[in-house]
């Protein structure tokens, strides 16, 4: 009787452990996307998961891929001269972002730039 009880406790502990491990893995996503501006793809933009070291830079076509992204995470997209964007993941796997210039209005006032 004691052996059966010990066996059932061990089995329930193992099953509980397996349940939590699979739940943790199920929440991690592989996220892909493209970073563009008004002229096309942004090469070398930084894309990372806020509050972590998980990040990458965009390739020659502005594409990025991040793995092990929590489903409720926030992606941060930044590049010199552009506004930093924070994008909630919300279980999405594909993102296309449009960067906005950070200093455009300041330079227009200083140099009289007209489109």
Q: What is the pLDDT along the chain (115 residues), one digit of tens a residue?
A: 777 667 667 666 666 665 665 555 557 999 999 999 988 999 999 999 999 999 999 999 999 999 999 999 999 999 998 999 999 999 999 988 888 877 655 555 555 555 5
- Residue 20 has a pLDDT of 61
- Residue 64 has a pLDDT of 96
- Residue 97 has a pLDDT of 87
Buried b (16+ CB within 10 A) or exposed e, 5-30: eeeeeeeeeeeeeeeeeeeeeeeebe
- Residue 99 has a pLDDT of 80
């Amino acid at each position: 009787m004691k052996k059966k009880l010990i066996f059932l406790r061990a089995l329930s502990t193992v099953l509980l452990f397996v349940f939590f491990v699979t739940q943790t893995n199920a929440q991690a996503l592989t996220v892909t996307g493209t970073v563009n501006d008004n002229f096309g793809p942004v090469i070398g933009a930084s894309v990372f998961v806020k509050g972590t070291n998980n990040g990458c830079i965009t390739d020659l076509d502005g594409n990025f891929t991040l793995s092990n992204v929590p489903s409720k995470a926030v992606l941060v997209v930044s590049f010199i001269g552009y506004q930093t964007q924070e994008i909630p993941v919300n279980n999405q796997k594909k993102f296309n972002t449009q960067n906005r210039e950070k200093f455009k209005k300041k330079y227009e006032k200083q140099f009289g730039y007209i489109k």
